Structure 1
Amino acid sequence: MDPPDTLSPGLYDYDLLVIGGGSGGLAVAKEAAGFMKKVLFLDLLAPSPRGAERGSCSDIDSIRKFLQQASLLRQAIQDSQKYGWRFKQEVLHDWSELVQAVQGQVRSASLELKRELRSCGVSHLNAHGRIVAPRTVEVTDVDGRKRRLTAETLVVATGTTPQCLCIPGETEYCITSKDLLSLPRPPGRTLVVGGSAEGLECAGFLSGLGLPVTVALTPDLLPGFDQKTARKIENHMIVAGVDFLYRCSLSKVEQTKDATSAGDSAAAPQQGREGTLRVTVISKEGQTLQKDFDTVLVAVGRKACTSDIGLESVGVQRCRDSGRILVNERDQTSVDHIYAIGSVQHGRRSATGLSVHAGKLLARRLYGGGSVLCDYTCVPTVVLTPLEYAACGLSEEKAKLTFGEANVEAYHSHYWPLEWILPARNKNSCYVKVVCHIPDHERVVGLHIMGPNAGDILQGFAAAMKCGLTKQQLDATVGIHPGSAQVLTSLTQTQRMSEALMVRGNC
């Protein structure tokens, strides 16, 4: 017999039950335990179909940073010769050593997380949770054993998973970003399908290791980000040797029998296959093109992992297309005792730091008497391409749509990091843009940085934006010299001025 909808507080198995291993779920669980609540955290740490070990969201972010650093070190080795360094032997990269090191760190972080949960008083089960009735969750462990547990409050933090193209050969031959480190050998000639942040990060990492990479923009380049800055990221990647396919779609992926058509045996196809992968691409005009690759990595976006956790059984409303959950300003779903945190939320930016912050605030509202809501409007984020892109607030396009073009001024400038001068690296690669709302004393509503350590540079400016930073205040800030961030304190060129120069042919 199922438990009734509402019981006395002491009759539930748990005060709070978190379904899923998202970073926001971890945060709300640990914070709630700090208020002496009985908390259960459910997360099935199953490997991906390709065998890649799965970690928490913070682990995934760490992996992104490790891979970016691996690609940056190759450039640093090249730059070092201009600073007087000489090497006695050829410098080579070992893929297997990188994979082992990163996977070892993920395993260590997973053990540390379990210890942390125990020390916080959070119960943790490596199990799948499915809501079967109000305040009732069916828990299935790795051996298939089932039991039902009750909780006064439920939080869904199941995160997202890569979307599929749904084309012939995808399941058999393609991989996603989470499978990249399951490859026993370098991926060789790689096709990255998708211009998402995830796709460009993977493409930049592989290109940074010296591998040939092609990006098929399916459908757009960095959707949701400032498009003029996104095009500069694209240009930088092209200069670095990445090829791009435009206005096209994949129709199928098939295996060929010729093992040497796309490279030597060292770059042979993965997962134990013989031969290379032949990709059929259809252009916007309907022309068919075939290209051979060693690896095809799909990164066309992500969908919420909400299809098999029983939301429909209790009436939790989801977006039909993405599966993301509809929530109010309190992170509450259409069912009053069920909340959603992190990337499963519909219509909100996904970022680990944001999810952690929102999770802590939710626990404080539920159990600590707090009333502070999470501000989802000014969220800093970073794309870990070899040349980083960090952004906070609105893109120039979104600002003009929100306030009207006449009410928006965008100040911008290229800059040349001092450490790039001796190696004579591209002088016009790095870029900043400050988007201002003119009627509101030129309040800064968007800030975009493209350059080394862009995320670290942005962090302090993001705090200033939360406090209502204006262009006048930015101009009055003393810049640190020498340093890249000082460019933000001396911006005079506007987007309008640059466009006028281009019209006159002076730029």
Structure 2
Amino acid sequence: PRVAVLDYVEPSLKGTKWGLGGTCVNVGCIPKKLMHQAALLGTAVKDARKYGWQIPESLSHDWSTMAEAVQNHVKSLNWGHRVQLQDKKVKYLNMKGSLVDTHTIRAVNGKGKEMTVTAKNIVLATGGRPKYPTHVPGAMEFGITNVALECAGFLTGIGLDTTVMVRSIALRGFDQQMSGLVTDYMEAYGTKFSWKCTPKSIEKLPSGLLRVTWMDLNTKEEHQDTFNSVLWAVGRASETKTLNLEKVGVEINKETGKIIVATDEATSVPNIFAIGDIAEGRPELTPTAIKAGKLLARRLVGHSTELMNYDNVSLLLHAYAFILVYHAFYKPLEFTVAERDATQCYIKVVCLREGDQRVLGMHFTGPNAGEVTQGFSLGFQCGLTYEHLRNTVGIHPTCAEELIKLNITKRSGLDATVTGC
């Protein structure tokens, strides 16, 4: 089959654009993790003194060097995507698309040049863009957007004075015990938090600094301070408004702007499909969208009938009486010689109480959490149980092995601190 892809980025309010690859590659996961790595290296250099390395007392970080290196890597990924499309004979159009009818797309480039594309099937995957708090004067003119705690963490790590303003609770939707450990850790390492506060306005001073006025929701008092940059993290909105969905009969959730989809990613129009962040009820996660897209492509060309399994991505709710929680506070080996505080290094495995104690979820705070949990995620596809964990021989010495050593439940009330190696 002949395939074309339309990819176009509307400039942000600051005029920022980016290349082929979507949010994750350009302004999301990839640059975020590279900057997180920059912060980790700073910590590692400090730890190195304890291991005998002769490190100068004065350390500094050069933002422009890091930014250039990150941007160069992102550009290499943009080019790699272009090459892959050419190799697969996919027509790439750097144009913004909207639906004319159920088989026709109107495409417009940045200079206003227009063309139409017709297709048997249409897949919508336009993702989302960050929201701005439009009720706050100055927010759109002077603020930028990203993920609050992740950005605050690496900004603190590279030595910048960073404050997070929280309206209610941090990491809403996540286990609040784990959220508390994360924010406690961040505070211990220098990130400041203004709890129960909401911004009122931002104004730019002649010096170029931004003066932020906010209200303490507990005392109702107003406060002010100056900052170099302000990042908003108030959620994302689906990029569906300009697609002309209602004109061609594609049903959407009017509150969220997301597209209603069936189990096969089909919309209310049988030949139009939607995947990723714009699909109602789907996790807003890059790997989930990639997997769903691959499976959909195989179905459309008749190579498979396999549907995306969202069950083990979704959140499950079970009454406390029917679950057991195994947990442990542990100290990573890397922290010992460096004499680093491991108070927030914690593991929790949630299981059904009856039968073979099927594992419902895992929580992990500590070094390399993504690397640790990736392998265990496979177990959820295979019906992982607590006995499977207990019967597994650990790879020693690792943080991951602490998950298969768990034997103390929260219900028991016993001290869950790991002793020994």
The TM-score normalised by the length of structure 2 is 0.93
Q: Letter of the aligned partner of 2:239 in structure 1?
A: C
Q: CA deviation at 1:327?
A: 1.0
Shift of 1:348: 2.0
**CA positional deviation for 1:46:** 4.7
Alignment partners' CA distance in 1, 2:93 and 2:48: 48
Aligned to 1:321: 255
Q: Secondary structure at the match of 2:234?
A: coil
Are 2:15 and 1:54 equivalent residues in the alignment?
Answer: no
Q: Distance in 1 between matches of 2:170 and 2:249?
A: 36
Q: Are residue 462 (structure 1) and residue 370 (structure 2) matched?
A: no
2:154 maps to 1:205 = yes
The CA RMSD measured in Å over matched residues stands at 1.9
1:48 to partner: Cα distance: 2.8
| 2:220 paired residue among 273, 277, 286 | 286
Aligned residue for 1:233, secondary structure, equals helix
How far the C-alpha of 1:291 sits from its partner, in A, is 2.4
Contact 1:46–1:54 (CA<8 Å) still a contact in 2?
Answer: no
**Residues of 2 paired with 1:285 and 1:491: CA distance?**
44
Contact 1:331 1:362 (8 Å CA) reproduced: yes
Among 367, 375, 390, the alignment partner of 2:301 is 367
The 3 A distance-change label for structure 1 pair 58 and 292 is: closer
In structure 2, distance between residues paired with 1:88 and 1:209:
16
Deviations 1:234-281 (A, max 9, x none): 110111111111222212111234x3xxxxxxxxxxxxxx24323333
Contact in 1 for aligned 2:197/2:214 (Cα 8 Å) = no
Q: Is the 8 A contact 1:253 1:280 kept in 2?
A: no
For residues 349-428 of structure 1, the aligned pairs below 5 Å read 349-379=283-313, 394=315, 399=316, 402-428=317-343
CA deviations on 1:151-186 (whole Å, 9 max, x unpaired) are 111111011111111111111111113xxxxxxxxx
What is residue 74 of structure 2 aligned with on the other side?
106
Query: Do 1:256 and 1:276's aligned partners in 2 also have CA atoms closer than 8 Å?
Result: yes
Query: Any stretches of 5+ residues in structure 1 without a counterpart?
Result: 1-36, 178-197, 260-273, 380-392, 503-507
Alignment counterpart, residue 444 of structure 1, candidates 359, 364, 375: 359
CA distance in 2 between partners of 1:154 and 1:459 (Å): 32
Is the contact between residue 126 and residue 141 of structure 1 (CA under 8 Å) also seen in structure 2?
Answer: yes
Q: 1:254 to 1:287 in 2, by over 3 A?
A: same
**Structure 1 residue 156 corresponds to structure 2 residue 124:** yes
Contact 1:250-1:280 within 8 A present in 2 as well: yes
Say which SS state the counterpart of residue 421 (structure 1) adopts: helix
Quote the residue 2:144 is aligned against.
175
Matching residue within 392, 403, 409 for 1:488: 403
Per the alignment, do residues 158 and 220 of structure 1 end up closer, same or farther by CA in structure 2, a change over 3 Å counting?
A: farther
The alignment partner of 1:403 has SS state of coil
Q: Distance in 2 between matches of 1:62 and 1:427?
A: 27
| Partner residue of 2:280 out of 339, 346, 366 | 346
Contact residue 102 and residue 269 of structure 2 kept, 8 A: no
Match for residue 44 of structure 1? 8
Counting aligned pairs with the same residue, the percent is 37
Q: CA–CA distance in 1 between the matches of 2:336 and 2:251?
A: 55
1:223 aligns with 2:172: yes
- Alpha-carbon distance in 2 for matches of 1:410, 1:227: 15
Residues in 1 aligned to 2:233 and 2:121: alpha-carbon distance in whole angstroms = 34
Tell whether the 8 Å contact from 1:251 to 1:282 is kept in structure 2 after alignment: no
CA-CA distance at 1:77 after TM superposition:
0.7
Q: Retained in 1: the 8 A contact 2:13–2:141?
A: no
Question: Which residue is 1:433 aligned to?
Answer: 348
Contact 1:318–1:325 under 8 Å retained in 2: yes
The amino acid across from 1:122 in the alignment is V
Provide the residue aligned with 2:40 in structure 1: 72
* Residue 190 (structure 1) aligns with: none
| Alignment map for 1:235-314 (pairs within 5 Å) | 235-257=184-206, 259=207, 274-314=208-248
Evaluate the alpha carbon distance shift between residue 294 and residue 448 of structure 1 in structure 2; reply closer, same or farther with a 3 A threshold. Answer: same
Aligned to 1:19: none
Unpaired stretches in structure 2, ≥5 consecutive residues: 417-421
Contact 1:256-1:278 at 8 Å conserved across structures: no
Aligned to 1:152, the other structure's residue is in SS state: coil
- CA distance in structure 2 between the partners assigned to 1:104 and 1:350 by the alignment: 27
| SS of alignment partner, residue 243 of structure 2 | coil
Q: Secondary structure at the match of 2:187?
A: helix
Task: Write the distance in 2 (CA, Å) between the matches of 1:287 and 1:358.
Answer: 48
Match of 2:419 in 1: none
Q: C-alpha separation between the residues in 2 aligned to 1:437 and 1:134?
A: 47
Paired residues of 2:163 and 2:193 also in contact (CA < 8 A): yes
Deviations 1:354-399 (A, max 9, x none): 11111111111221342211111223xxxxxxxxxxxxx64xxxx5
Provide Cα deviations, 1:447-505, integer angstroms capped at 9, x if missing partner. Answer: 1111111111111111111100100111111111111111111112222234x889xxx
TM-superposition CA deviations, 1:79-128 (whole Å, max 9, x none): 01111111368432111111111111112211121111000111101100
Shift of 1:292: 2.1
The CA deviation string for residues 15-38 of structure 1, in whole angstroms up to 9 with x for no partner, is: xxxxxxxxxxxxxxxxxxxxxx11
Q: Secondary structure of the residue that 1:220 maps to in structure 2? A: coil
Once the two structures are superposed, the pairs formed by residues 127-142 of structure 1 within 5 Å of their partners are 127-142=95-110
Whether contact under 8 Å (1:434, 1:448) holds in the other structure is yes
Counterpart Cα distance in 2 of 1:477 and 1:303:
43
2:152 & 2:246 partners in 1: Cα distance?
38
Matches of 2:292 and 2:33, distance apart in 1: 23
Q: What secondary structure is seen at the aligned counterpart in 1 of 2:311?
A: coil
Aligned length: 411
Deviations 1:210-255 (A, max 9, x none): 1111111134321222221111101101111111112222121112
SS of residue paired to 2:119: strand
Question: Please, which of 335, 340, 347 is the counterpart of residue 269 of structure 2?
Answer: 335
Q: 1:218 to 1:151 in 2, by over 3 A?
A: farther
